[in-house]
Chain A
Amino acid sequence: MFFLDSIWLIPMFPLLGALCMLLFGRRLDPQTTGHGDHGHDDHGHGGHHHEAGGKKLINLLCPGMVLLSFIFSLGAVIQLQSVEGHSYEVIKFTWLAGLDSATTAGALARFTADWGFLLDPISSVMVLVVTGIGFLIHVYSTGYMAHDGGYYRFFGYLNLFIFFMLMLVLANNYVLLFVGWEGVGLCSYLLIGFYFLKQSASNAANKAFLVNRIGDAAFVLGMLALFSTVGTLKFTEVGPALEAGGFTAETAAFGVLSWIALLFFIGATGKSAQLPLYVWLPDAMEGPTPVSALIHAATMVTAGVYMVARSSAIYVLAPKTMLIVAVIGALTAIFAATIGLVQNDIKRVLAYSTVSQLGYMFLACGVGAFWVGIFHLYTHAFFKALLFLGSGSVIHAVGGEQDMRKMGALKDKIPVTYRTMLIGAIAIAGIPGLAGFFSKDEILWQTWISHDGAYRLLWALGLATAGMTAFYMFRLMYMTFGGESRLDPHTASHVHESPKNMTVPLMVLAAGSILAGWIGTPVAFGPIHEHLPSLEHWLSPAIAAEPAAHEAAAHGEEAHHDTTMEWVLMFCSVALAVGGILLARRIFDRKTEGDPMERGLGPLHPVLYNKYYVDEIYNALFVNGLAKGGGAFLSRFDARIIDGAVNGAGWFTRFTSTVSIWWDTWIVDGAVRLTGFLVRFASYPMRMLQTGMLQNYAFFVVLGVLVILSYYFFQFP
C-alpha cells in the first residue's frame, strides 16, 4: 500500500515548493516590469540576465509539486477502495500530548493531537478536488500572472495554500484540521492582499482576516467544548465516543451537543462566507483572479462544508442546530443571489454566486444530506473554478477591465473562453446533463423530503435561488459576450485570446463541469442511477446517519421513494432555470439603453446594488460603533482612570518623597551633624595642645619631670 502509507507526503510536496519559492524564489524571479494587465509591479528593477531560465524553473516546480500531490492522492484513493471500511489512518508522531483530565461526564480523557493523516471517503473527495483543480489553476496562473511582479511570491503563496488546504482535509483530528484552517486563512490574506500597494486590496485582505477571526474563535470554543464532553478530538473516535457516552439526539432541549455543533457552524460561517459573516468574500475579489478561483470558490471556502460533514456524528444528534444550519444556508443562498442579480463587476457576480452556492451546500448539510453537500462542493469546484478562470481570461483579454458594462460582443474575439464559460454557466444554471444540475437538484429534493416535508419553505427559497442563479449567470454571459460591444476603441483593438496555458485548464474544467455530476444521478433516473458509480454509496461509511433514518434501516423499511414527485420537482427547477436564461437573453442579448435591471427592479435596485447596505450597517455598528465608539470610551477610560491612577500614584510618591527629603535633611542629617559638632566642641581644649611644635612637647616632658621631682622634694624635705 505504497500510496496509502505515504499520504503524509501529499501535503509535503507543495510545502517544499512553497519553501523553495519563499526562500530562494527571488533569485529565480525575472521580475518583469512589463505591461501587466493590472499594471502592478512591486519590484521596479528588472534583472533580465537569467529571465527565461528562472521563470521556467518556477513554472516547472510549483505546478509540478501540485501535480505530484495529485498523482499521490489518486494512487492513495485507488488503493483506498480495497481497504476495509474505506478508512486509512497514518500517524507520524504525537504533536501535542496533554495530561489526564476528566470529561464533564466524569470519564478519564487525555488530550492528544497527533500529526496524523486520515484518508477516508470524505477526505478523498476533498483531496482530489484540491490537488486536481489546484494543479489546473497553477497551470493557468503561469499564463495569467506572466506579466505581474512578484511572480515567485505568488507561486510560493499558492503552493503554501495547497499545503495548508491538504493539511486541513487530511488531518485526523480537529486540532490539526485547525492548523490547516488557520493556514489557509493566512494564505487567503496574503493572496487577497497580493497587490498590496493598492489600498483597496490591503483593506480587503484585512477585512477577510478579521471577519474570519470571529468564526475561528467560535471554532476553537467548539473544539474545547467537544473535548470536555466526549474526551477526544480524533475524527474516527468522536462517533464511537458519543455512542459510548450514551448521547441521544437533543430533540427537546438545546443541549451541549447543540452548542458544540452551533459553535462549529459559526466557525464554518466565517470560513465559508455564510450569513452573517459572508461580507469578506465579495471584497476578496481584490486578489488575482486565479486566487479567487482556487481559494474563494473551489477549495478554501468549502472547508466549512467539509468540516460540518466531517462532524456529522455531532450534527445528527443536534437537530435544532441542523435547523439553524439549513435556515442560514437557504437564506444565504437567496440573499446572495439577489445581490448577484444587479452587480456589474464580473468577479463580484461570481463572488456572490459562490456565497449563494455555499448556502446551498449548508442547506444540504442542514437537512441531513451531508453527502449532497459534499457532492455540490465537488461539482461546484469544477464549474465555479471554470467561471472564475474564464472571467480572468476575459479580464486578461480586455486589459484589466472588470466592469461588464464596458464589455459586450466578445463572443467571436475570444471563442475558447466563451465556449468554456458557456459550459460553466449552463452547469451552474442547472440544465440537465451537466454537473450543477445533479447536485443542485439533489439538494432541492433532499430538502423537499426531509422531516416529512416540514422544510418545504426552505425548498421554495432554494428553488427561487436556482431561477435567479440561471438569470444572473446568463446576464453575465450576455453582458460580456453578447449584445453589442461597449469597449472603448483602444481596448477593442487589443482584445486577444489567452495563451494555451490558460485555455487548456479552461477546457479541462469544462469537461469536468459536464461529466462530474454523473456520479450522483437522481434515484428517479432508475437504471442509469443503478449502473453509474454512486457518490452517496462511497461517502456513506464516513457520514453519520440521522437517528430516524438509522431506525428505519434497522427495521428494514426502505424509505419510500416518490419517483413521480422527484420528476415533478426536477421539471420545476429546470423550467425555472430555462426561464431565467430566456429572460436574461431577452433583456441583455441586444443593444441596451442604460441599465435594464435598474428600470426593471425600480426602488429595489439601489438596495440590491448596495448589497442591502450590510457593509454600511456593519461599519456603523461594529467598526464605528463597537470599535471606534468603544475605542473612544476606552481611550477616555485610559486617560481618566488609568492615567489618573498612575498620575495620582506619581503625585503621592513625590509628596511622600518631599516629606522624606525634609526629614532626611533636618532630622537624620541634623542628628549626625550635631554628634560631629558635639565631639569637635568637647575636644577643642585637648586639640589645642597638639601644636605640632616639637619643643612644646619637650617642654611638657620637662615640666612633668619637674613636677615629679618637686613632689619628691616636698615629700621628703
Chain B
Amino acid sequence: MFPVTTAHYLFLSTALLIIGTVGVLTRRNIIVVLMSIELILNAVNINLVAFSNYLQNVNGQVFTIFVITDAAAEAAVGLGILIALFRNKETVHADEVDILRW
C-alpha cells in the first residue's frame, strides 16, 4: 500500500478548489453555486487538516471546526436569501438576476 502523504491531500484539496471555482463561475443554478462554495470551503478544510498533521500542530484542526460551523451558518443564510429571491423573481438562476447594472 503506498503511503498517503501530505502532497496527496494537497492535490485533493487543489482539485476540490478548482472544481468548486469552476462550479461557482459556470453553473446557473444558485443552489449549485452554493454547493460549489461548500466544495471550496472543504478544500480549505482539507488543506488545514493536512498541514496540521504535517506540522503536528492541533491549531489547524481547531480552525477547521470553526470553518465547518461557519459554513453551516453561511449555508443557512444563503438558502434564506435564495428563498426570498425565488419568492420575488420565481427563479433560482443567477444569470436572470441582473438588474443591478449600468
Cβ-defined partner of B98 (8 Å) among A687, A688, A691, A698: A691
- How far does the Cβ of B81 sit from chain A's closest Cβ, in whole Å? 12
- How far does the Cβ of A692 sit from chain B's closest Cβ, in whole Å? 3
- Chain B residue with the shortest CB-CB distance to A683: B102
Give how many A-B residue pairs fall within 8 Å (CB-CB): 31
Decide yes or no whether B95 CB sits under 8 A from chain A.
yes
Please determine whether A688 and B95 come into contact, CB atoms closer than 8 angstroms: no
Decide yes or no whether A679 CB sits under 8 A from chain B.
no
Decide yes or no whether A699 CB sits under 8 A from chain B.
yes
* Cα of A410 to Cα of B3 in the assembled complex, Å: 166
Please determine whether A695 and B94 come into contact, CB atoms closer than 8 angstroms: yes
Cβ contacts under 8 Å, A695 to chain B: 24-26, 33, 94-95
Cβ-defined partner of B101 (8 Å) among A691, A699, A702: A691
Cβ-defined partner of B100 (8 Å) among A688, A692, A698, A699: A692
* Cα of A699 to Cα of B95 in the assembled complex, Å: 13
Cβ contacts under 8 Å, B101 to chain A: 690-693
* Cα of A626 to Cα of B100 in the assembled complex, Å: 85
Cβ contacts under 8 Å, A694 to chain B: 94, 97
* Cα of A691 to Cα of B96 in the assembled complex, Å: 11
Decide yes or no whether B21 CB sits under 8 A from chain A.
yes
* Cα of A698 to Cα of B33 in the assembled complex, Å: 11
Decide yes or no whether B99 CB sits under 8 A from chain A.
yes
Binary interface encoding of chain B residues 4-41 relative to chain A, with 1 for a CB under 8 A from any of its CBs, else 0: 00000000000000000100111000000100000000
Cβ-defined partner of A698 (8 Å) among B25, B95, B97, B99: B25
- How far does the Cβ of A681 sit from chain B's closest Cβ, in whole Å? 14
* Cα of A241 to Cα of B31 in the assembled complex, Å: 117
Q: Name A387-422 residues within 8 Å CB distance of B.
A: none
Q: Name B28-61 residues within 8 Å CB distance of A.
A: 33
Please determine whether A693 and B95 come into contact, CB atoms closer than 8 angstroms: yes
- How far does the Cβ of A372 sit from chain B's closest Cβ, in whole Å? 112
* Cα of A694 to Cα of B33 in the assembled complex, Å: 11
Binary interface encoding of chain A residues 688-717 relative to chain B, with 1 for a CB under 8 A from any of its CBs, else 0: 101111110011001000000000000000
Cβ contacts under 8 Å, B95 to chain A: 693, 695
- Chain A residue with the shortest CB-CB distance to B99: A692
Cβ contacts under 8 Å, B100 to chain A: 690, 692
* Cα of A19 to Cα of B19 in the assembled complex, Å: 111
Please determine whether B25 and A687 come into contact, CB atoms closer than 8 angstroms: no
* Cα of A692 to Cα of B102 in the assembled complex, Å: 8
* Cα of A539 to Cα of B66 in the assembled complex, Å: 131
- How far does the Cβ of B71 sit from chain A's closest Cβ, in whole Å? 18
Interface residues in A, total, Cβ within 8 A: 11
A interface majority secondary structure: helix
Classify chain B's interface size.
Answer: 10 to 19
Cβ contacts under 8 Å, A690 to chain B: 100-102
- Chain A residue with the shortest CB-CB distance to B102: A687
* Cα of A687 to Cα of B94 in the assembled complex, Å: 20
- Chain A residue with the shortest CB-CB distance to B22: A702
In this complex, the member of A690, A692, A699 whose beta carbon has the largest number of chain B beta carbons within 10 angstroms is A692
Please determine whether B98 and A693 come into contact, CB atoms closer than 8 angstroms: yes
* Cα of A695 to Cα of B36 in the assembled complex, Å: 13
* Cα of A688 to Cα of B102 in the assembled complex, Å: 7
* Cα of A530 to Cα of B94 in the assembled complex, Å: 137
* Cα of A690 to Cα of B94 in the assembled complex, Å: 15
* Cα of A693 to Cα of B98 in the assembled complex, Å: 5
Cβ contacts under 8 Å, B99 to chain A: 692
Please determine whether B102 and A698 come into contact, CB atoms closer than 8 angstroms: no
Please determine whether A702 and B102 come into contact, CB atoms closer than 8 angstroms: no
Cβ contacts under 8 Å, A699 to chain B: 25
- How far does the Cβ of B15 sit from chain A's closest Cβ, in whole Å? 16
Binary interface encoding of chain B residues 73-102 relative to chain A, with 1 for a CB under 8 A from any of its CBs, else 0: 000000000000000000000110111111
- How far does the Cβ of A713 sit from chain B's closest Cβ, in whole Å? 14
* Cα of A690 to Cα of B101 in the assembled complex, Å: 5
* Cα of A691 to Cα of B24 in the assembled complex, Å: 17
Cβ contacts under 8 Å, A702 to chain B: 21, 25
- Chain A residue with the shortest CB-CB distance to B101: A692
* Cα of A712 to Cα of B33 in the assembled complex, Å: 29
- How far does the Cβ of A696 sit from chain B's closest Cβ, in whole Å? 9
* Cα of A695 to Cα of B101 in the assembled complex, Å: 13
- How far does the Cβ of A528 sit from chain B's closest Cβ, in whole Å? 128
- How far does the Cβ of B48 sit from chain A's closest Cβ, in whole Å? 19
* Cα of A692 to Cα of B101 in the assembled complex, Å: 4
* Cα of A699 to Cα of B98 in the assembled complex, Å: 15
* Cα of A699 to Cα of B24 in the assembled complex, Å: 9
- How far does the Cβ of A192 sit from chain B's closest Cβ, in whole Å? 90
Cβ contacts under 8 Å, A692 to chain B: 97-102
- Chain B residue with the shortest CB-CB distance to A688: B102
- Chain A residue with the shortest CB-CB distance to B30: A694
- Chain B residue with the shortest CB-CB distance to A689: B102
- How far does the Cβ of A688 sit from chain B's closest Cβ, in whole Å? 7
- How far does the Cβ of B30 sit from chain A's closest Cβ, in whole Å? 8
6 closest residue pairs by CB, A with B: A692-B101, A692-B98, A687-B102, A690-B102, A690-B101, A692-B100
Query: Measuring CB to CB, which residues of chain B are less than 8 angstroms from any residue of chain A?
Result: 21, 24-26, 33, 94-95, 97-102
A-B contacts besides A691-B101, A692-B97, 8 pairs, CB < 8 Å: A687-B102, A691-B102, A692-B98, A693-B94, A695-B25, A698-B24, A698-B25, A702-B21
25 chain-A/chain-B pairs, Cβ below 8 angstroms? A687-B102, A688-B102, A690-B101, A690-B102, A691-B98, A691-B101, A692-B97, A692-B98, A692-B99, A692-B100, A692-B101, A692-B102, A693-B94, A693-B95, A693-B101, A694-B97, A695-B26, A695-B33, A695-B94, A695-B95, A698-B24, A698-B25, A699-B25, A702-B21, A702-B25
